[in-house]
Amino acid sequence: MRREEIIIKQLSKDPYTVYLNMAFLSQLFFTLIVTVNLLYQVYTVKLDPLQLVLVGTVLELTVFLFEIPTGVVSDLKSRKLSIVIGYILIGVGFLIEGLFPYFSAVIVAQVVWGIGYTFTSGARQAWIADEIGEERASEAFVRGAKMENLSQVIAIPLSIAIGYMMIRLPIIIGGLCTVGLAVYLMVAMREENFKPLKRETQLTGWGSMKDNLQQLIVQFKVSVVMRTLILIALFVGFYSEGFDRLWVSHLLEVVNLSSLTQEKLVILTGGIQFVVVLVSFTALHVVNRSTIHQNLNQIYLVLFMASLVIILSLIGFATSTSVLVLLGFFIMIQVTRTIMYPLEDIWLNKIIPDSSTRATFFSVKGQADAIGQIGGAPLIGLVATRYTIKTALIVSAILLTPVLYFYRILLKRKQE
């Protein structure tokens, strides 16, 4: 046993390096899957629009139900354990979806990989912040996002090539590789600075979750910033599910590409996503070299402007009839969202008062987003069914507009 411990210690790496590897590999395998996943659900599993919305709702409902319990596991037991379990479940979930092309299997897959996602959500950020400190973690978040975009540059062409031969194959390979990532992390991850909740306060797992929730409630009562962050996550959830589920259908409808073969659609949609990744990679490089992430007021201003860009671009995407203009708005939306993700992580990381509940705070933010998607998806689906997809996308843009007001509150508060 001692010899095994020595070997594991030798194989383990610097946490900063492991975090970047984790960001790169997890996004590589995930992108390999999602590049073809929506087309797989439409053309192979033959899901109709209502079923597509239901698939998304089941996923978000799963996230909603498991975000806080799995976040507490991370705070109570081990960040590393939570992350490893998460990637195993994510991989198994996608294997189920790729191996069994049935609606029921897709639903089961959403539940399995959704639970897996909640084990990693918050735990990754909390782990790296514990191991290398908050200041260096802020840099890691931005560099990690940059590594994720680099992995997409590799994964999208690879997924197109594999999916051209068999559309389900990238999903199966991605699922297997994600399980392999979990095995790598078992060996490579250190956990030397983790401080679990004191054992004398742990009557049961649920009792600890109750204690953490009470701490969260106290923070929400006294912190305007924390309440505002959760409200922003809620409204982001309201708008995002409709756009994410309907953009392909809108593109096919406006540009009249429904006559293209499945193989050509794989190339088309993958090519669009590839352009998004290239532009996003450049944008994140600019953010990484700037001082934006060091100042909360600058973060608020960038997030306000980014939200405004998304709202205007989404309306443009919904109403455009020109192929080039439509694709331009789509790229603008996706690039802007990519820039926002690491800045939101940095924001939350800076305002969390107690490192022992860091993963739970991240999980609550994720749960608020899930609630928004659960509430927004049926509304957008109903509008798309009764009216048009164009109308549904415009409604999605309207649902995002309250975040501008919330960011204005934060900017005024910092200026006072």
The verdict on residue 383 lying in a domain is yes
Domain total in the chain: 1
Angle separating helix axes 134-165 and 169-188, nearest 10 degrees = 150
As given in the structure block, the two tokens for residue 50 are 């209502």
Residue 385 has a pLDDT of: 81
Residue 356 has a pLDDT of: 55
As given in the structure block, the two tokens for residue 349 are 């990381």
Separation CA 70–CA 251 (nearest Å)? 37
Residue 218 has a pLDDT of: 59
The verdict on residue 346 lying in a domain is yes
User: Would you list the DSSP string of 43-98?
Assistant: IIS---HHHHHHHHHHHHHHHHHHHHHHHHHHHHT-HHHHHHHHHHHHHHHHHHHH
Segment-wise mean pLDDT, segments of 10 residues, the chain, 416 residues: 49 79 94 90 80 83 76 73 93 95 94 91 81 78 82 90 90 96 90 64 49 57 74 87 82 70 77 84 75 73 91 93 87 89 76 61 73 82 85 92 89 63
Give the amino acid at 170: P
Residue 128 has a pLDDT of: 84
Q: What is the CATH number of the domain that holds 25?
A: 1.20.1250.20
Residue 416 has a pLDDT of: 45
The verdict on residue 375 lying in a domain is yes
The verdict on residue 409 lying in a domain is yes
The verdict on residue 318 lying in a domain is yes
Residue 107 has a pLDDT of: 95
Give the amino acid at 230: I
pTM of the model as a whole: 0.73
Residue 293 has a pLDDT of: 64
Separation CA 296–CA 225 (nearest Å)? 11
The verdict on residue 196 lying in a domain is no
Let me know: does 74 contact 123? Beta carbons within 8 Å: yes
Element (H, E) at 194: none
Q: Which residues are CB-neighbours of 120 under 8 A, at least 6 positions away?
A: 26, 82, 83, 86, 87, 90
The verdict on residue 198 lying in a domain is no
Let me know: does 11 contact 187? Beta carbons within 8 Å: yes
Which residues constitute the domain of residue 178? 2-190+205-415
Which has the closest alpha carbon to 34: 224, 363, 277, 383?
277
The verdict on residue 174 lying in a domain is yes
Let me know: does 411 contact 297? Beta carbons within 8 Å: yes
Separation CA 394–CA 389 (nearest Å)? 9
